[in-house]
Amino acid sequence: DQQVKQNSPSLSVQEGRISILNCDYTNSMFDYFLWYKKYPAEGPTFLISISSIKDKNEDGRFTVFLNKSAKHLSLHIVPSQPGDSAVYFCAASVYGSARQLTFGSGTQLTVLP
């Protein structure tokens, strides 16, 4: 039973356009959400996070939106750059605890020059 789902295994976007990566979750106890970026042969790196008390968090070109009623979060990257090409994982946690950190299966983003 996957509690965190990323239903799109891949996404291609033209350079300069917006990339939207989606993530759905089922556990209503999740209250902290994170996005990670992973390049080949490297471990995931933390990108941006959001607490359940917010519905939006922005950091430069990256914005995460949280819709608690729909149990849905999304990561927007604008403008997209070729260096953004990587696998993006969303993750969810209970009480911000790493012990309860649950990851999605990832979306491969390819930004075309």
Contact residues toward other proteins (CB under 8 A) are 2, 4, 6, 32, 34, 41-46, 49, 89, 91, 93, 96-106
Half-sphere exposure of 57 (CA within 13 A, CB side): 16
State in angstroms the smallest separation of the CB of 63 from other proteins. 17
Minimum separation from the CB atom of position 74 to other proteins (A):
17
Secondary structure of residue 84 in the 3-state scheme? helix
Query: Nearest approach, Cβ of 105 to other proteins (angstroms)?
Result: 5
Residue closer to other proteins, measured from CB, 27 or 49: 49
Contacts of 21 (CB under 8 A, 6+ apart): 6, 8, 11, 35, 74, 75, 77, 88, 90, 107, 109
Nearer to other proteins, 65 or 103 (CB): 103
Residue 16 structure tokens: 């300069």
Our CB check for other proteins shows the closer of 12 and 97 to be 97
